[in-house]
């Protein structure tokens, strides 16, 4: 479900703190805000992981989506 909010990510605006000396060179990408329901226990674990690692929850969620797309194929019609 999309709420229509669109923004862009670029190397100029990292979503997580970078380590000293780390250079981010992600290409600019159009992003859309979405809303999902997640089990409370998973939310708490993700929040704690994010706090411990200082990596934004959104970064972990985008990584999870990429992993699923790689696993099931990017064509959308594959089963």
Both structure tokens of 26: 């992600």
pLDDT of residue 1: 45
- Domain housing 51: 2-72
In a domain? residue 15: yes
Q: What is the CA radius of gyration of the chain?
A: 15
In a domain? residue 78: no
**pLDDT per residue of the chain (79 residues) written in tens, 0 to 9:** 444 555 545 434 444 444 555 555 566 889 899 999 999 999 999 999 999 999 999 999 999 999 999 999 876 554 4
DSSP E strands in 1-79: the ranges are 2-9, 29-34
Q: What's the rounded Cα separation, in Å, for the pair 14 and 28?
A: 11
In a domain? residue 50: yes
Q: What's the rounded Cα separation, in Å, for the pair 71 and 49?
A: 23
| pTM across the whole model | 0.58
Both structure tokens of 2: 């999309």
In a domain? residue 77: no
Tell me how many domains the chain contains: 1
């Amino acid at each position: 479900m999309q709420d229509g909010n669109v923004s862009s990510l670029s190397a100029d605006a990292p979503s997580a703190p970078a380590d000293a000396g780390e250079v981010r060179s992600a290409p600019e990408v159009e992003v859309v805000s979405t809303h999902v329901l997640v089990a409370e226990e998973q939310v708490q674990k993700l929040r704690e992981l994010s706090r411990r690692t200082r990596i934004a929850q959104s970064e972990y969620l985008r990584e999870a989506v990429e992993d699923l797309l790689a696993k099931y194929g990017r064509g959308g019609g594959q089963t």
